[in-house]
Amino acid sequence: MSGNLIINSLVPPTWNRLKVNEYELPLPGTLQQDTAADAFKTAGAGTAEGSLHIQTGCGKELSDALKEKGIIPKQILIKGPELVTSKIDYSGDAADVICIKAEEGQTLNILTDITSSADKAAGVLQILIEAAKGSVVNLSQLVRAGRDFTFVNDIGVVLEDGAGFNLSQVFAEGGRIISGYMALLSGEGSSSNVHAGLVRKASQFIDMNYVMRHTAPSTRSETYVSGALMEGGSKTFRGTIDFVKGCAGAEGAENENMLLLDDTVINKTVPLILCDEENVAGSHGASIGRPAEDMLYYMMSRGITRERALKILEKASLDSAVSYISDEKAREYVSSAIEGI
Amino acid sequence: MSKETLTIEKLCVRIGEKEILKGLDLKVCEGETHVIMGPNGAGKSTLGNTLMGKSEYEVTSGKITFMGEDLLAMSTDERARKGLFMSFQNPVEVPGVRLSEFVRNTCEAMGEKMSLWNFKKAAGEQMKVLGMDKTYLDRELNVGFSGGEKKKAEIFQLLMLKPKLAILDETDSGLDVDAVRTVSEGVKAYQEQTGGSLIIITHSTRILESLKVDRVHVIADGTIVCEGDSSLVDEINENGFEKYIGK
Ligand SMILES: Nc1ncnc2c1ncn2[C@@H]1O[C@H](COP(=O)(O)OP(=O)(O)O)[C@@H](O)[C@H]1O
Ligand SMILES: [Mg+2]
């Protein structure tokens, strides 16, 4: 494999002047596998060889590269709604493809906690999810890797009739985060709910590509990103709601709420609503660059130092994503984890 | 002679290129209540924000002494910790931060470490004065609060923080009769509990009803144009500011 991978690509690529069409990832030469699969095993889940072919947010180039490098997909077997907490710690360059199937009517609660004990390294976690009729999958993700760590978080979900996928992501720490998400809403009345909270500072960045593809009638997607940027932190968010012909009555909403805490930050947003169907409702809302200075002034006028006020605002940016974690144990886990950051 | 809490001498302030305060003098002693009136745009909020140390308000000349120290040398949070408080004309909304979490942080910043239990108890007592439901503690700071609720939340913080000097910037504006009465009760409770000083910026007499006013100042075009006792408030309410403008 030579050269960089082109991932997180926007379709269609029309925003060239902003340089936000895609992300170029230098993938390490050798990648350990099963870091994540073993973490699931430790958490009590069974594993087997998996074979799901699901499109992800990062895209085909990443999936192909992982295959080429011999990464074998692992199926994670989870029986019931009892929370499975997978603590994934990267000690070197590593990649995993995790497959999860929710059977008809099943509810799954999964939490991934990403840390890194090796700093200058990269971890790739691809999670492919198939949600059968009427099933609900609640996935919560906490990322608190090292300042020099590159983490590629790539999710693909296929939803059958009435299935629901709820994703809460808390991007607290980690030097470079590349996050892809693709939901294929192919079952009537299926839904995707994403709440992502992020803090980027000290030149950390995150590159997000989220695609909600509605192909079936009465499908719903809601995507909410809240975050705080400071000290050279940067964020690119591509949010695509794709209404494909035949998805009559579908509704898609994306919303962003970014707090820009100084003028060294880079905040790029590419909202895209593609529409091939008449009877749909798509919306994009953003309150970007909220009056952060006024908030800081208000807080300081009550005796709180600027440093402390920034911390409070940072935590608040993550908290809204935490509050949407439906499993109580998972919510408490993430909440107390970010308390100490 | 009673102790001086705040002394402002020949204060000039500008925002950008625009000069707003043009040589303002004011003295507030311990336990006194001062009222500031003046037409819209006179510089009343500018005075409050300058005292609080908002960054875009540039003091070009003059001196401010608070509790015997040079106020202008302090950052906003230091001023607050020294005992200065301002109830904002338009309190900002801070999504994601609960009122209880925020006020606990402010109490802690003031050096008052309280257990959660004691905090809830103290907060509950002060909220009772203001007829505020305890559920407000769990709401996000000022988010979706009505005008009246925002002002009550400000006075709630005044009661929790017990400053030496509180500036109330149109805390009564836009409130209904009952809300003004409640807020006024809260301000009275502050006076009784702490013996602190007050600068009340207002257009009406209602908030002043249960308070003893020591001095009234009228600001127009960046300076104090008239001073008097509490009877001045009624006079202005009857005759307006016309007499003082362009004088
Ligand atoms: N941030 C600002 N930038 C520019 N001009 C301002 C700003 N704040 C206030 N001003 C101007 O300063 C003058 C005084 O405003 P202010 O102190 O708010 O008046 P008051 O509170 O007495 O109604 C007004 O002309 C107003 O337009
Ligand atoms: Mg004003």
Query: What residue ranges of chain A have pLDDT lower than 50?
Result: 1-2
Measured from the alpha carbon of residue B44, the closest ligand is: 1
Check residue B162 and give its pLDDT: 96
CA of B219 to the centre of ligand 1 (A): 13
Distance from C-alpha of A11 to C-alpha of A1, rounded to nearest angstrom: 25
Boundaries of domain holding A125: 32-337
Ligand 1 in contact with B46 (CB < 6 A)? yes
The pLDDT assigned to A286 comes to 81
Let me know if residue A19 belongs to a domain.
Answer: no
Q: Which domain holds residue B41?
A: 4-244
Amino acid type, A111: L
User: A277 near A248, Cβ under 8 Å?
Assistant: yes
Contacts (Cβ under 8 Å, ≥6 apart) of A146: A116, A118, A119, A173, A174, A175
ipTM: 0.96
pLDDT at B199 over 60: yes
Lowest-pLDDT range of B58-67, B86-95, B235-244:
B235-244
pLDDT, residue A153, reads: 98
Q: B106 and chain A: CB distance < 8 Å anywhere?
A: yes
CATH number of the domain residue B23 falls in? 3.40.50.300
* Spacing, Cα B37 to ligand 1 middle (Å): 15
Give the closest residue (by CA) to ligand 1 atom 6: B15
Amino acid at A281: A
Taking the centre of ligand 1 as the mean of its atom positions, its distance from the CA of residue B208, in whole angstroms, is: 25
- Integer Cα distance of A123 and B214 in angstroms: 69
Shortest-distance Cα residue to atom 3 of ligand 1? B15
| Structural domain includes residue A26 | no
Is A120:A26 a contact under the CB 8 Å cutoff? no
Provide the domain count of chain A: 1
What is the per-residue pLDDT across A53-78, written as a single tens digit (0 to 9) for each? Answer: 899 999 999 999 999 999 999 999 99
Who contacts A160 (Cβ-Cβ below 8 Å, separation ≥6)?
A130, A131, A132, A133, A135, A186, A187, A190
pTM: 0.86
Give the ligand with the smallest distance to the CA of B219: 1
Task: Give me the torsion for CA of A72, A73, A74, A76, rounded to 10°.
Answer: 170
Residue to substitute from B75, B84, B97, interface A, most A β-carbons within 10 A: B97
pLDDT, tens digit (0-9, with 9 covering 90-100), for B135-174? 999 999 999 999 999 999 999 999 999 999 999 999 999 8
Domain count, chain B: 1
Structural domain contains residue A7: no
